[in-house]
Amino acid sequence: MNYQAIGDQLPQVVKQVTQETIRGYAQAAGDFNPVHLDEKFAEKTHFGGIVAHGMLGLAYVSEMLTQAYGEDWLRTGQLQVRFRAPMYPGDTLTTFGVVERAESGENSLYLECLIGGKTQQGIETIVGGARVRCVLDH
């Protein structure tokens, strides 16, 4: 599917958030904030416990966009998001996306999508927009 028509739903990505994935992300990103790794510290914060890095959830959103638009996303993709709620170990994040606008250009199609991620309780953790320029085949 090309995901180019207004109303097209992007492919969902479903990921289990575990302490292991949080530790792995901390290693990869070099972000060792104790709110992500130290239960005793995190319990004393307004989160009440360990939370995942917001950028981990955003990586899952980017995975969805890569599945939908491949190289076009990797070359031209733009995101603007807000982090609305934390993800906790044990949460399952499901991404969502829908094409909201399509504009033709010379040999290109510019798409704007509403994107985000929700927990298994339906809580939006990330919400925003994505823009991608798709090169049209001749």
Chain segment 94-132, per-residue pLDDT in tens = 999 999 999 998 889 999 999 999 999 999 999 999 999
Are 100 and 112 spatial neighbours (Cβ–Cβ below 8 Å)? yes
Helix (H, G, I), strand (E, B) or coil at 58: helix
Q: Is residue 131 part of a domain?
A: yes
Q: Please give the sequence-ordered ranges of beta strands (E in DSSP) within the chain, or none if there are none.
A: 14-16, 78-83, 92-105, 108-118, 124-135
Q: Is residue 95 part of a domain?
A: yes
CATH number, domain with residue 46: 3.10.129.10
Q: Is residue 7 part of a domain?
A: no
Q: What is the pTM of this model?
A: 0.93
Q: What is the pLDDT of residues 16-33, one digit of tens each?
A: 999 999 999 999 999 999
Q: Is residue 37 part of a domain?
A: yes
Other beta carbons within 10 angstroms of residue 51's beta carbon come to 22
